[in-house]
Amino acid sequence: MGILDEDVARVRESTDLVALASEHLALKRVGQRFVGLCPFHSEKSPSFSINPSMGLFHCFGCQKSGDAITFVREVEHLDFVGAVERLAAKANLTLRYDDASHTRDRQHKMRLAEAVGAAIDFYHQRLIKSDDAGNARRYIRSRGFDGAAVRQFTLGWSPDKFDAVSKHLQQAKFAREDIVGAGLAFVNRTNSLQDQFRGRLMFPIYDGRGEPVGFGGRALEGGNGPKYKNSPETPIYQKSRLLYGLNWAKAEIVARGEVVICEGYTDVMAFALSGVPQAVATCGTALADEHFQILKNLARKVTLAYDADAAGQAAAERCYQWEQKFEVQFQVADLPAGRDPADVWRDDPARLLKAVTTASAFLQFRIDRVLGSADLTSPEGRARAAQDLVPVLREHPNELVREGYIQRVAGTLGVEHAWFKDAIARNQTPRARVEPRRERAAQSIDPRELDILRWAIHRPELLDDWLDEAIYADPLAREVFIALVSADTLAGAIESSSGDVRAILERISVEEPDVGDDATLRARLMANAVEPAAQRRLDELLRSGDERSAPMKVLLDELVRGRTQGEWDNAERAAEQLVTWITGVAEE
């Protein structure tokens, strides 16, 4: 199910790409284009270019290309539907989906999010103003957080009452089924609404787009139920697909190329307040593939900021699998054993910042844990450490990485390098080799053929009556041309293409061709394109001894003479006749 094609087209047409991009970078007009420093990679000279008439962008540095929807997806890291919905909201457009049930589903989710948002405001005001929130305020201060932090993270307090938030939301005209559907209440045995959260410090949870979706609630000393309670699964709250704090941290994660993953909500707050704004936490669940599906497009460096003992007990094999599957690199923050990040921050904020800046690679961390607990002053202690390190080293799937660490530990312990190699090899299950991801480089195209493609996009009226796929010798150039003529619009050609064809279309769509003398432009384009194609056809006829080569050579000589002497009318007339030979029309 998706958004109707015509509505996607309306969003594209209604969006000013220059104005949209100007929200993120400074643009300068150069001819018919706008250029600026690319927002997707670091650069000192502007290589980001926008063609405003076509609503397309291309970066000649990192090769990213696309339209306004693509731009929003890249900048805000949204999926296609999310990007279209974001732009539709900016343009005040109402979207339709490809069936009525999907439209109703989207509207239902919007109502649930609105209910959660209203609950966030209710709980937040209770924490700030109500007498019954005194214990919650004292607890927050005991953790080192002040009123500014409470407001920054919109913390709240759920009153220890039967139906406080339910009554409030019903008075605010939210339907009973929406309050239940948002996970804020449930229907009890008396058929009354009963609040899901009671007597808890409330941490609002947002999705990656910043939409409110649920809560994590912490019970205070003497409170009932489990210490932490999360919203139940709802259409907008699936805890395995959510990361607390991602809505605040996303931009910093992308900018720094790193995400710090914690266990608790207050840990995220502590990191943000200590100068590590790229921290997030799982929402009452263990790390899973779904989390890395979200994070892999944001950052490649993953720093685990768990209690050191907990990090040491993490399933190493899962981390190595994630490193290979999602192309991320794990490291572990240098936290004191037995202390969580929020406790470290309360006593020494600088120490928390240092824990991230001095983080070590995951395998190095595990090695350090073994060495740190070993007696390295005696031969027996060093031998035991060596034996304990063998399974740790064996876990890593990359032989070259293992080799580097074997050299280190062999030197530290005074154990022969060969001993480690033999010990690791014993009882080792062969691992499947993981091939590095390779991207096929775009093929080189004759500059003249590339230029004709550029004109076919920017001034098609100059070529429509003579340009044919037979003109192109380069197979890739021919594919690009076919993609262009097979689609109704340039956007359609790009959308239906992939690989090198799409990359070339996206690039040349923002490149301005050199016009020169506009009066002779059509003739020059035709002569430059037809001459090499005609020469190829003539060579074929000559090789086969075909008598038709004679009249074709006369025409080709006329084209060359007209081009070299600047007699463009003559060159154009000869080129027009040669096209019929190239395309086979003259031979029929």
The domain locations on the chain are 5-90, 100-237, 243-367, 374-425, 447-587
Per-residue pLDDT, 316: 53
Strand partners, 447: none
pLDDT at 1 over 60: no
Bridge partners for 217 per DSSP: 202, 229
What DSSP designation does 225 have? Answer: S
pLDDT of residue 169: 97
pLDDT in tens, 135-189: 999 999 999 999 999 999 999 999 999 999 999 999 999 999 999 999 999 998 8
* Coil vs helix vs strand at 40: coil
Instruction: Tell whether the model's pLDDT for residue 50 goes beyond 90.
Output: yes
pLDDT tens sequence across 430-441: 443 333 333 332
Q: Does 16 score more than 60 pLDDT?
A: yes
pTM, to two decimals = 0.62
Closest to 361 measured CA to CA, from 393, 383, 336, 384: 393
Closest CA relative to residue 576, chosen from 548, 534, 537: 534
Q: Which residues 6+ apart lie within 8 Å of 333 measured at CB? A: 260, 303, 304, 305, 341, 355, 356, 359
CB-CB contact of 534 with 552 (8 Å): yes
Q: What span, in angstroms and rounded, lies between the C-alpha atoms of 135 and 519?
A: 82
CA distances from 266 to 109, 145, 282, 357, 473 (A): 28, 9, 12, 20, 63
Region 312-321: mean pLDDT is: 62
**Segment 95-151, tens digit of pLDDT:** 888 766 666 777 888 899 999 999 999 999 999 999 999 999 999 999 999 999 999
Burial environment of residue 286 by CB neighbours within 10 A (0 to 12, 13 to 18, 19 or more): exposed
Q: Is the pLDDT of residue 330 over 80?
A: yes
Residue 313 has pLDDT above 60, yes or no: no
Strand order, beta sheet including 28-30? 28-30, 33-36, 48-51, 56-59, 65-66
SS (H, E, C) 385-424: HHHHHHHHHHHCCCHHHHHHHHHHHHHHHCCCHHHHHHHH
**Per residue in 453-486, pLDDT tens?**
888 888 888 888 888 888 888 888 888 888 888 8
The architecture CATH gives domain 374-425? Up-down Bundle (1.20)
pLDDT band at residue 444 using 50, 70 and 90 as cut-offs: low
Task: Please count the CA atoms within 13 angstroms of the CA of 378 that sit on its side-chain side.
Answer: 5
Flag the least confident range among 8-12, 68-72, 232-236, 432-436.
432-436
Single-letter amino acid code for the residue at 169: L
**What average pLDDT does range 245-268 have in this prediction?**
90
Instruction: For domain 243-367, give the fold.
Output: Dna Topoisomerase Vi A Subunit; Chain: A, domain 2 (3.40.1360)
Whole-number pLDDT of residue 568: 86
CA contacts within 13 A on the Cβ side of 462: 23
Task: Give the per-residue pLDDT at 36.
Answer: 92
Predicted local distance difference test score (pLDDT) of residue 176: 94
Answer yes or no: same fold for 100-237 and 243-367: no
Instruction: Please count the residues of the chain.
Output: 588
Statement: residue 488 has pLDDT above 50 = yes
CATH number of 5-90: 3.90.580.10
Give the pLDDT confidence score for residue 148 in this predicted structure: 95
Q: For residue 302, what is the enclosing H or E element?
A: strand 301-304
Residue listed under structure tokens 């009671």: 198
pLDDT tens digits, one per residue of 337-355 = 778 899 899 999 899 999 9
**Mean predicted confidence (pLDDT) in 566-570:** 87
Burial class (CB in 10 A: 0-12, 13-18, 19+), 100: exposed
In the structure encoding, which two tokens stand for residue 122, read together? 């209710």
3-state secondary structure 87-133: HHHHCCCCCCECCHHHHHHHHHHHHHHHHHHHHHHHHHHHHHHCHHH
Residue 440 pLDDT: 34
- Distance between CA atoms of residues 492 and 106, nearest Å: 27
Fold for 100-237, please state it: DNA primase DNAg catalytic core, N-terminal domain (3.90.980)
What is the structure's pLDDT at 438?
34
Task: Show Cβ contacts of residue 73 under 8 Å, excluding neighbours closer than 6 positions.
Answer: 66, 79, 80, 82, 83
Q: Give the whole-angstrom CA distance, residue 426 versus residue 420.
A: 10
Band (588; pLDDT cuts 50, 70, 90):
very low
What average pLDDT does the chain have? 85
User: How many angstroms separate the most distant Cα atoms in the chain?
Assistant: 103
Q: CA 142, CA 258: separation in Å to the nearest integer?
A: 30
DSSP conformation letters of 422-452: HHHHTTPPPPPP-PPP--PPPPP--HHHHHH
pLDDT tier, 15 (very low <50, low <70, confident <90, very high otherwise): very high
